[in-house]
Chains A and B, each alone.
Chain A
Amino acid sequence: MTFHQDIGGTRHTFADLKTLLAKASPERSGDHLAGLAASSAEERVAARLALADLPLTTFLREAVVPYEEDEVTRLIADTHDAQAFQPVASLTVGEFRDWLLSDAADSAALKNLAPGVTPEMAAAVSKLMRNQDLIAVARKARVVSAFRTTLGLPGRLGIRVQPNHPYDDAKGIAASLLDGLLYGCGDAVIGINPASDSIPTTIRLLDMLEEFRTRYDIPVQSCILAHVTNTMEAIRRGAPVDLTFQSVAGTEAANRSFGIDLEMLAEAHAATLALKRGTVGDNCMYFETGQGSALSADAHHGVDQQTIEARAYAVARQFKPLLVNTVVGFIGPEYLYDGKQILRAGLEDHFCGKLLGLPMGVDVCYTNHAEADQDDMDTLLTLLGVAGVNFVMGVPGADDIMLNYQSTSYHDALYIRSVLGLRPAPEFEQWLHKMSILDEAGRVRPALENAGGAGALLTYAEGAHHG
């Protein structure tokens, strides 16, 4: 189906739905790299005008990646909830934006709508929204998930402690982990990216975190961000797996480049769920995504990177995750060139994920070859805090010495919680009080003078060892 938009005597033509979506997308380097971006600013707005008049039902009839070729498309089509979709079934994309911003679209309405929204609908409407729209709607779309902590509650912000070390050294990891806990972080997850993605390393680190968690009775979940096949083998060998991690993308071919498919994820989800290790909930998957991953695997089917990213959320949604994290600035300037593009992508991903009913967090980050710096990260972090992001990363001093990129720091966590009045997850907050890490005013001011509480934690690092 071809689309047209006439502006002042000029007819703009868009060959098909995916072309229309791509041309309507806010500018970013990855769409230029793929040869999909609008060729002029006017063409971009023309595409938006045409997109605004498109009935939402178009997305139920027409797939951007063919149904026959792609299991993610089949998942999206086959699991669509027509009843949940009813309240917006008669709307165009433009009217959908108006409705999302209206008082009718309150938290309850958005929660009920989520199973009726497809990733392409979410991506389409986001392309018509300003940054403030993405923030305003996401703020209303609350998504709560739970394992040993409850995440996503209003007025709360979780932080992942990310204590990576270049060669997975136990004492090095312990030092960064304690630094984070003493700054009140860790309620989203204690998650290590292993330098060596091997089964013995995964098990060694899982055992280490389990011993630490149980010794100090900390209501947190841990995760080693290894390939899903390694985590499944660790489960078979009896390792203490709380959450199973996997990077996911929005097409079958991109997922294949990650060495996964939906069946494998379903197996992993079932195996992790069967361990029944959660105490306040059973969301036991942790997914990471990021715009550009499908293009970098040459698996984007001519679809713009933001729409493909939203499709990754359909994959995640199938397995009721505890955490979904878009690692927004990690991939490099050929996909998101500068602070402006990273900022926009972070807000889009958070909005689309929340609209689809996912517990979204964002790794607010950049690499040294992107045109971005700490000021850009401050802006995005603050906007995401306002938008009600479920969690962000905590990396010592914002400098990940294993992955060699800059994320948000434990200090940044203190800042955003403080300026927006956000608190840690309730279970973890209680523990922080018990350990004298929070003072009576709820500020992070660890009391280290005695052998109990925060002081006792410090004795751990010196004795840390592997398994």
Chain B
Amino acid sequence: MADDLEAKAPSGPPSDPWRSLRRHTAARIALGRSGDALPTRHLLDFQLAHARARDAVHLDFDSAAMAASLPGMACVTVRSAASDRSTYLQYPDLGRRLNPDDLPLLRKGDYDAVFVLADGLSARAVHDHAAALLTATVELLPGWKIAPVVLAHQARVALGDGIASALGAALAVMLIGERPGLSAADSLGAYLTFGPRPGLQNADRNCISNIRPDGLAIPLAARKLAFLMAEARRLKLSGVGLKDDVPAELLGPEPVKAMPENTAMRKES
């Protein structure tokens, strides 16, 4: 899309003469000017990035399609106490509590871990990457008793605590859409909590952030997550006491690409 915009507007004002500095940063530098303002193509490039972020925030979580994309895995769909997106955005606490009507869906068992796939602030991130991350992680956890996968609507991270505690799972792993930025609207976050129960704080969790093909790639994220899960089970803790210094040999040859992707607009023109 951005490529198309660039191709269609070859006659706009030129970039600033220091455009070669763009190779040092993903920041929107040396864009050039139309008078004092942004050249049209950069104006529209920004609008496109913002539009994608806005769409990701407001996209409905398609839990039925999600369940269908996880063959062989039992799935349970639940809702938080936030009835719609506007309520969810204005009352974060409601997104942390389970809708009481859905509590009976969660049958108590004896599980090592539960994976909760939640829309968070970007259903797109979950649609695009959660199934792949879940499958890759579970493969690295032979012998674990994994609870049915829970698909959660209008969810915040702490919703996983109540879900895991209802299911009797020792570890909660929340795969949740992160707040979209302009450079990426499909970033997935993985939050791991040992001994989940309502009332825990962020300091009690570990987080792997920016999971997406152009950020932290999925195979790498899966190895990191499986390592943290094993360590949490061994040490019986999560949060600040659990260090995420994953041994390099576990991570393999794939380099970490933490840098936000450069859109075509920001390449040399």
Which residues of A line the B interface, CB within 8 A?
Answer: 29, 32-33, 163, 165-167, 169, 171-176, 178-179, 182, 333-334, 337, 367-369, 373-374, 396-399, 401, 404, 406, 409, 411, 414-415, 418, 444, 448, 458, 461
Contacts and interface: CB of A to CB of B under 8 A. Distances in A.
A178 B21 contact: yes
Interface in B39-57: 42, 46-47, 49-50, 53-54, 56-57
Contacts of A414: 33, 36-37
Contacts of B54: 368
Interface stretch (B67-75, B177-185, B227-235, B245-253): B177-185
A397 B17 contact: no
A173 B25 CA distance: 8
Interface string B1-45: 000000000000000111001101111111101001110001000
Contact of A172 (B18, B27, B57, B89): B27
A230 B186 CA distance: 34
A401 B57 CA distance: 18
Given A29-B90, A406-B182, A368 B50 contact: yes
A278 to B, nearest CB: 29
Contacts of B26: 166, 401
Contacts of B150: none
Q: In the complex, which of the residues A174, A396, A404 has the most CB atoms of chain B within 10 Å of its own CB atom?
A: A404
A66 to B, nearest CB: 26
Given A399-B28, A404-B179, A333 B89 contact: yes
Determine the interface band of chain B, counting residues with CB < 8 A from chain A: 35 or more
Nearest to B121: A369
A173 B223 CA distance: 32
B25 A401 contact: yes
A373 B46 CA distance: 11
B258 interface: yes
Nearest to B185: A368
Interface string B96-114: 0000000000000000000
Given A397-B42, A418-B36, A369 B89 contact: yes
Given A333-B90, A401-B183, A175 B29 contact: yes
B264 interface: no
B89 A411 contact: no
30 contacts: A167-B258, A169-B24, A174-B21, A174-B24, A175-B22, A176-B27, A179-B21, A182-B18, A333-B89, A337-B89, A368-B50, A368-B53, A368-B54, A368-B57, A368-B181, A369-B180, A374-B47, A374-B50, A396-B31, A397-B27, A398-B46, A399-B28, A401-B25, A401-B26, A401-B27, A401-B181, A401-B183, A404-B182, A411-B31, A411-B33
B50 A373 contact: yes
A172 B24 contact: yes
A115 B193 CA distance: 50
Contacts of B50: 368, 373-374, 406
A411 B24 contact: no
A369 B182 CA distance: 12
B217 to A, nearest CB: 17
B140 interface: no
A171 B24 contact: yes
A399 B259 contact: no
B92 interface: yes
B53 A334 contact: no
Nearest to B21: A175
Contacts of B38: 397, 409, 411
Q: In the complex, which of the residues A401, A414, A461 has the most CB atoms of chain B within 10 Å of its own CB atom?
A: A401
B37 A169 contact: no
A418 B29 CA distance: 20
Given A175-B29, A397-B46, A411 B181 contact: no
B260 interface: yes
Contacts of A333: 89-90
Given A166-B259, A368-B53, A397-B42, A411 B25 contact: no
B25 A172 contact: yes
Contacts, number: 123
B27 A165 contact: yes
Interface string B174-201: 0000011111010000000000000000
B80 to A, nearest CB: 14
B91 interface: yes
A163 B56 CA distance: 27
B16 A182 contact: yes
B18 A411 contact: no
Contacts of B30: 179
Contacts of B28: 396-399, 409
B18 A178 contact: yes
Nearest to A400: B27
B77 to A, nearest CB: 23
Contact of A175 (B25, B31, B47, B91): B25
A369 B121 CA distance: 8
Contact of B179 (A172, A368, A411): A368
Contacts of B27: 163, 165, 172, 175-176, 179, 396-397, 399, 401
A396 B28 CA distance: 5
Given A175-B29, A411-B31, A401 B21 contact: no
A411 B46 CA distance: 13
A350 B259 CA distance: 36
B9 to A, nearest CB: 17
Contacts of B92: 33, 334
A168 B37 CA distance: 28
Closest 6 CB pairs of A and B: A397-B28, A414-B36, A172-B25, A175-B21, A404-B181, A368-B53
Interface string B208-224: 00000000000000000
Interface in B136-192: 179-183, 185
Contacts of A32: 90
B55 to A, nearest CB: 10
Contacts of B24: 169, 171-172, 174-175, 461
A337 B87 CA distance: 11
Contact of B260 (A334, A401, A406): A401
A65 B38 CA distance: 47
B142 to A, nearest CB: 35
A337 B90 contact: yes
B91 A33 contact: yes
Nearest to A175: B21
Nearest to B43: A374
Nearest to A414: B36
A165 B38 CA distance: 22
A411 B35 CA distance: 9
A30 to B, nearest CB: 9
